């Protein structure tokens, strides 16, 4: 795979839509928290808290990628915390994080209430919520511009379809939530920008945690003529990759992380969520005081929040050049993710 990048609480459904209920993906493995990094008590101390566990191969593990750069490049001591989806653990763990760290990054919407409460009591610690807006003067919020990322997934779907004589792209949503509908709008706009005549068939699974139903939806869209497909449906989206791997004529596009391993040789690319980049960037901003508590920051391709990864085997160099050019126009504001 080749990498090509230029570089309200309701919003947090975006993480669910992209990754699913992460506890279900960890059943049987328990998650593996990365070890603490660094040892100097005089160093900057950074905590990374997840409401479930590391080891998901997705959203939380994208955050863990930041550990080495924080340690090696910023000299930070990094400690991780896992809530294991046990609500009674959230506040004590976050308080422990506040007692130990200068900055604490929090991932997972289940922990928002505990985050707001603990942040209010610990003025000396800077808390950051990643992937949504938390309405609190004591918390920095970092959200991803969903429609913008999904726009490029749609553009990729259209390019792949054109190369395979298909006139229909498929969109699989988890549930009818605003963030998912926002993604569908961006995806449809990306398809239309590349090929105005191309159709988009969309269908919602009704769940973020039902890969069997996701597979059924993917096959249904295929039967309606869709070839390339993009699922913003959490664990349910795995069904599209399962269908492709079992021989269905589907080209699934990944989300959050590189998903090529789910259907080897069949995934043209992935829209990756650079949680690590956001954590690294915000750490620098907090240290140099260019951002403060209560700030609400937005991340897209320009800020390094999204990154497209393309398969060199399934996407030609000319197609990648075409997509990179469109991404530059998106960053410059020459095209709009909502199609307006």
Concatenated DSSP letters of 16-39: HHHH--HHHHHTTT---PPPPB--
pLDDT at 16: 57
Please state the domain count of the chain.
2
- From the first residue on, what is the mean pLDDT of each consecutive set of 10 residues in the chain (340 residues)? 42 54 36 50 91 88 96 97 95 98 95 98 97 96 97 98 98 91 97 98 93 98 98 93 98 96 98 97 97 97 97 98 98 90
Based on the fold, state whether residues 295 and 328 are members of the same structural domain: no
Please give the distance of CA 312 from its chain centroid, rounded to a whole number.
22
One domain for residues 56 and 97:
yes
How far is CA 264 from each of CA 152, 160, 260, 261, 307, rounded to the nearest angstrom?
Answer: 21, 16, 6, 5, 20
- What is the pLDDT at residue 2? 52
The reply to whether 132 and 255 lie within a common domain is no
- Same domain? For 84 and 167 the reply is no
Mark whether 267 and 231 lie in a shared domain: yes
* Residue 340 lies inside a defined structural domain of this protein: no
User: Looking at the structure, do residues 194 and 295 belong to the same domain, yes or no?
Assistant: no
Same structural domain, 139 and 281:
yes
- The reply to whether 98 and 129 lie within a common domain is yes
In a domain, 338, yes or no: no
pLDDT given for residue 234 in this prediction: 85
Looking at the structure, tell me whether residues 15 and 42 fall in a common domain.
yes
Q: What CATH number has the domain bearing residue 18?
A: 3.40.50.2300
Residue 137 sits in which domain range? 2-144+274-299
Measure Cα distances from 278 to 44, 179, 282, 319 in Å.
Answer: 17, 20, 6, 28
pTM: 0.85
Regarding whether 150 and 140 lie in a shared domain, the answer is no
């Amino acid at each position: 795979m080749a990498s090509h990048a230029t570089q309200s609480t309701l919003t947090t459904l975006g993480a669910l839509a992209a990754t699913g209920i992460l506890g279900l993906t960890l059943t049987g493995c328990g998650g593996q928290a990365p070890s603490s990094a660094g040892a100097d008590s005089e160093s900057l101390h950074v905590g990374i808290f997840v409401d479930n566990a590391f080891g998901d191969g997705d959203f939380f593990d994208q955050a863990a990628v930041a550990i080495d750069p924080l340690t090696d490049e910023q000299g930070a001591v990094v400690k991780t915390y896992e809530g294991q989806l046990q609500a009674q653990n959230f506040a004590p763990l976050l308080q422990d994080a506040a007692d130990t760290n200068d900055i604490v990054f929090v991932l997972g919407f289940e922990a928002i209430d505990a985050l707001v409460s603990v942040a209010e009591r610990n003025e000396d610690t800077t808390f950051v919520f990643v992937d949504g807006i938390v309405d609190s003067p004591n918390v920095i919020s970092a959200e991803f511009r969903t429609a913008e990322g999904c726009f490029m997934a749609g553009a990729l779907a259209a390019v792949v379809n054109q190369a395979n004589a298909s006139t229909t792209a498929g969109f699989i949503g988890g549930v009818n939530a605003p963030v998912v509908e926002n993604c569908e709008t961006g995806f449809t706009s990306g398809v239309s920008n590349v090929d105005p005549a191309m159709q988009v068939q969309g269908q919602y699974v009704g769940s973020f945690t039902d890969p069997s139903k996701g597979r059924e939806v993917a096959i249904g869209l295929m039967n309606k003529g869709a070839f390339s497909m993009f699922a913003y449906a959490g664990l349910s989206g795995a069904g599209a990759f399962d269908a492709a791997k079992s021989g269905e004529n589907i080209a699934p596009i990944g989300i959050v992380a590189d998903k090529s391993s789910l259907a080897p040789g069949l995934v043209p690319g992935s829209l990756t969520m650079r949680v690590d980049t956001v954590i690294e960037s915000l750490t620098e901003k907090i240290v140099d005081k260019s951002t403060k508590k209560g700030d609400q920051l937005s991340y897209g391709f320009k800020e390094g929040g999204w990154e497209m990864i393309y398969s060199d085997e399934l996407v030609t160099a000319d197609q990648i050049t075409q997509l990179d050019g469109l991404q530059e126009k998106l960053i410059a504001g020459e095209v709009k993710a909502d199609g307006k």
